[in-house]
Structure 1
Amino acid sequence: MENEQISILKMNGKHDVFDARKLRLSLKNSGATDDMINHVLSEVSAALYENISTEEIHKIAFSRLRQYKRSIAARYKLKKALLEMGPSGFPFEKIVEQTLIHQGYQTETDQILEGVCVKHEVDVIAQKDNRYLLVECKFHSEQSRQSDVKIPLYIQSRFHDIKQNWKKLNQHQNKIHEGWIFTNTRFSKDAIQYGNCMGIKLVDWDSPAQGSLKELIDQAGLHPITCLTSLSLNEKHKLLNENIVLCKELMNSRNILFKIDIHKQRHSNILSEAKQLCNL
């Protein structure tokens, strides 16, 4: 299987060669054991055909993992779970804020800040020691959508206007001001090149190599409730409408399951899966 030269269709419409090593790593990062991984790889291998979509490969792997352990399958579907939080960008902003809090930052959300020229709404302001981060969150509900160069171009002009104003204020003297942009999909090559050139920190699904969105969520146990395999999509949306975004929030508000009419007999399985995702 490791040497199969099968063409696969990616979400962006491009073709690539199936690489079992990438799937193996993804499964391992989800917490699967070597035995689980080998069985999943064997099942995927048997189902491969020319131009199979990455979505179909993911469905096969997810289905097999779910038979082993729901919490591992839930971690494996994190990318899709982030897409399912839409259409509002609020849940994604909450996840981004919580990743920063986990790193020791104090945060404020949805702030209106004065620039030299005009006022600007900033998704998250994060402060630690002498560092101030201005954070923009770009949420996409389709995996094929990238954040192109227009995003950092636009955000950079806003950050620059705010930072120029901050330079006039005593409390911001000798402070480090940084602009950050998070997205749940990926940035285009031009966006990354521009961000690097202008000193804007870009964080997407799997980059940078250290500190990608996936890594930040996994390390902090900040998985959204849309990861849970024990809930229907409709039940997940009901929880999101109650502002329950994270599994850890569900653990702290267990009675919300009664409010959205989930039978008591199911509660223990749902909460058990949520607890494992929270690294509790």
Structure 2
Amino acid sequence: MKIVVIGGTGLIGSKIVTILREGGHEVVAASPKGGVNTVTREGLKEAMVGAEVVIDVSNAPSFDRKMVSEFFETSGRNLIAAETAASVRHHVTLSIVGADRVPGQDYYRAKAAQEKLIEASGIPYTIIRSTQFLEFLGAIADASTDGSVVRLAPGLLQPIAADDVAAFVADVACANPRNEIVEIAGPERAPFDVIVARYLKAVGDPREVVKDPEARYFGGQLEEKSLVPLGEARLGRFNLEVWLRRTQKRA
């Protein structure tokens, strides 16, 4: 079947495209640099012709509050209109575990609003909420660094490898719409500071990691379980150590 992957050249999107093509599907890797822009609508109508499934793993170009909100709202509305016109049978969106549980986090707020648009669209859908990617642990540490110390809010983390995320999304896209939110996470849950400290040690980074009750997560306030599934979740294959070994072999 024909599947359009919005954000199909990014970290997750490119992996999904590969999986689906290997499975024999006709796949459009849609992105602005390929002539498909969900904000301006350039190429969007043409990309949707004959599509049965649309997967949205696109990302805002900025974390600025106004820009991220406008991106997901404008992109979401344009995408829904194009899918409706093309009679798309299944819309799949990648979102974030805790999207509605991190006060003060603008990106999460925008993703939660995107979910509401999808739920109200009338198009059969599945929303996949994922925990944070293992690939982003370095960026999290950098954003939380104060001098030579990484200050992290108390709470739990259950990071997942991008390869696992892509496999789950591709699997869901080829199944019937669930018309609900499903959650995916890594196989290991541990305190935020413990996981980041293990990551930094493994990559030879000497920064000290401390738990700081006053620290914020990209501006958001965390509770103990803000970033982990509260109920049932599909778990990935790769914990931090296995993922690091796989990453180092590819380098």
Q: TM-score, normalised by structure 2?
A: 0.31
More helix by share: 1
